[in-house]
Amino acid sequence: MNEIRNFLLSPEEYLDTFWESDALIWVDWREYDESIIKYINERLPEEDKVKFTCVEIEKERDVDIILEKNGISTAIPYAEEYTDRDTTLKSLQEYVSPKYQIRWFMGSLGSDTLAFCICPSTQWEQLEEEIGAEKVAYHFAPIKEDSVMFQMGMDEVFDLMKQRGES
């Protein structure tokens, strides 16, 4: 969390260091969805790890990923034809909530490899109180039900970068 705090307090000074930080989870657009779950699990204590299984199915996407929590199994709600990183990340956010939040590091916007951070919700709330919720969300966007990350078209990416003052 100190790496995130230092970056937020002085983004220009810490940007290069932060890009190399262990706080970031890098996800390539071609990543297998189960790999994303494994990356998230690497950052969680044993008792909070995401329990999941991959099941081969007779659909075009070939696989279902089943999340299990509190004795309840739920399939990630993918489209019939394919799995996708956005749906996986939103489902993971729902799974780890309310104890944790996965946030998109907006410094990776515009790349085909995006960066994410997962921290306890209480730590994100402390940062918002200390630094300001708007500034924290500007650099680390919360993942919500309607979030579009990997599925964003290039025009949308450029429009968002322009809105953020990043040409």
Q: What is the pLDDT of residues 20-35, one digit of tens each?
A: 999 999 999 988 999 9
The 10s digit of each residue's pLDDT in 86-102 is 999 999 999 999 999 99
- Residue 149 sits in which domain range? 2-163
Distance in angstroms (rounded) separating the CA atoms of residues 39 and 114: 13
What phi and psi values does residue 116 have, to the nearest 5 degrees?
-135, 155
Return the closest-CA partner of residue 64 out of 72, 75, 74.
75
Computed from CA positions of residues 112, 108, 90, 1, in that sequence, does the dihedral angle turn out positive or negative? Answer: positive
How many domains in the chain?
Answer: 1
Per-residue pLDDT band for 167 (boundaries 50, 70, 90) equals: low
Q: Is 95 exposed, middle or buried (0-12, 13-18, 19+ CB in 10 A)?
A: buried
> Global pTM?
0.92
Name residue, tokens 């019939």.
Answer: 80
Asked if pLDDT for residue 156 goes beyond 90, the answer is no
pLDDT in tens, 43-94: 999 999 999 999 999 988 889 999 999 999 999 999 999 999 999 999 999 9
